[in-house]
Amino acid sequence: MHVGIAAAGSGGHVYPALAVADALVAGGIDRSGIVFFGGDRMEATTVPAAGFRFVQVDIHGLRRSLSVENLSLPFKIAAASKIIGAEIRTSGIDAMIVFGGYVSGPAAQAARRTKIPLIVHEANAVPGIANRLIAFRANLVLVASEAAKSKLKTGVVVGNPLRKAFDTFDRSSMAAESKIRYGIPLDSKVLGIVGGSLGSAALNSIAQGIASHDPRSFHILHITGLPHAEAMLEASQSHDDWTVLRYEEDMVHMYAACDLVVSRAGATTIAELEETATPAIVIPLPAGNRYQAHNADELQTSGGAVVMSQDDTQAIVAAAFSLMADDGARSEMSSRAGETGHRNAATEVARRTMELVHG
């Protein structure tokens, strides 16, 4: 069996796709039988680094501002679809799974033209434009949450796929090893700050605000994202208890080391907080149809996270200090977070894909 996977743009699309690819391999599909399709962003390096074949196409999303680039988009979609269709025939791909983003449209077109099954996975509570447009023609629509199902009526709730390492996450047994990994004293409490795969200028500013407060009884473990790394590394030089990382490939160690996390509300991040039962202050990106805020709705309602606006910097800093000082509150939040979400989503997506192909 051969499977095509279309995922592009950000970690919210690419990492769930890689999790499903790993689950397909675990289910008996040869690694060489999985072909990824994407553009020139993070997928172009992340996918090959994970050991999967990657076919790059020249495609981008619709520019939200007036741009002459939008005029060329239909031609780029057609050209990308043609390349993907040719690869489907050459490689004998039996099914196509799309995860949203700008490559989903041409991948879906190619799947329909070559008459192979099309599977759509929607990670966000508010479905993206690409997945909304193609879902009604898909053979199978899988969604991460009931909120997404309310928008994509044929959707089946399976959760958001995470890499296999999350399946066996155990903070109590991993915490010491993870702190050693980051050079953090074993007796330190740790506040994690995570801005997503591309980083967040707003969260980096909040990190600086927290680091500037003295006295402080906890260590800061801060993943900046590559675009912001150099500035944050420089800012942290005068603070022995502020560890800055450009990027973390293996996020289970980040969560294992942390007592509380300040994060964005990307779909993958929310799923990771739920899977690891990590108490969090969640700061949704104020963009689009408030899709990140909706991603966090269930976790907030359960009591597993506090959701705050990025404009309330002082309140966020105060909340971080308050929660880091309150072991009981964090313990309760952890219990609530662990009760939300869906487990083993990657395996479920892989299983349903193989069943669809094999009948």
Confidence of residue 73 (pLDDT cuts 50, 70, 90): low
Q: Domains of the chain (ranges plus CATH)?
A: 3-160+343-358 (3.40.50.2000), 165-338 (3.40.50.2000)
Averaged pLDDT, 71-92 = 87
Asked if 6 and 35 touch (Cβ cutoff 8 Å), the reply is no
The residue-averaged pLDDT of 179-193 equals: 97
- Residue 99 CA to residue 121 CA, distance in Å, equals 5
Q: What is the mean pLDDT of residues 88-92?
A: 96
What pLDDT, on a 0 to 100 scale, did the predictor assign at position 144?
93
Residue 79: how many other CB atoms lie within 10 Å: 15
Phi, psi of 35 (to 5 degrees): -120, 125
What is the per-residue pLDDT for 232?
Answer: 83
Rounded to 5 degrees, φ, ψ at 178 are -70, -40
**Average confidence (pLDDT) over 189-212:** 87
Distance CA 228, CA 243 (A): 14
pLDDT, position 68: 47
The closest of 134, 140, 60, 67 to 102, measured between CA atoms, is: 60
CA 355 to chain centre: 26
The pLDDT score that the predictor gives to residue 74 is: 76
pLDDT above 50: residue 213: yes
**Rounded Cα–Cα distance for residues 180 and 207 (Å):** 22
Q: What is the CA radius of gyration of the chain?
A: 21
What is the per-residue pLDDT across 101-146, written as a single tens digit (0 to 9) for each? Answer: 789 999 999 999 999 999 999 999 998 888 888 998 999 999 999 9
Range with lowest mean pLDDT among 51-65, 235-249, 289-303, 318-332: 51-65
Model pLDDT for residues 260-309, shown as the tens digit of each residue: 999 999 999 999 999 999 999 999 988 767 889 999 999 999 999 999 99
- Closest CA relative to residue 292, chosen from 203, 173, 229: 203
Cα–Cα distance between 230 and 133 in angstroms, integer?
Answer: 39
d(CA 250, CA 319): 27
Answer yes or no: is pLDDT of 72 > 80. Answer: no
* pLDDT at residue 58, as a whole number: 85
In the predicted model, what is the mean pLDDT of the chain? 91
Instruction: Specify the pLDDT at position 287.
Output: 76
Predicted pLDDT at 128 = 83
**Mean predicted confidence (pLDDT) in 147-156:** 92
Of residues 307 and 343, more confidence is placed in 307
pLDDT at 227: 73
Instruction: Dump pLDDT digits (tens) for 44-54.
Output: 999 999 999 99
- Report whether 64 contacts 289 (CB < 8 A): no
Mean pLDDT of 213-226: 88
Residue written as token pair 């600086």: 208
Which pLDDT value is given to residue 96?
98
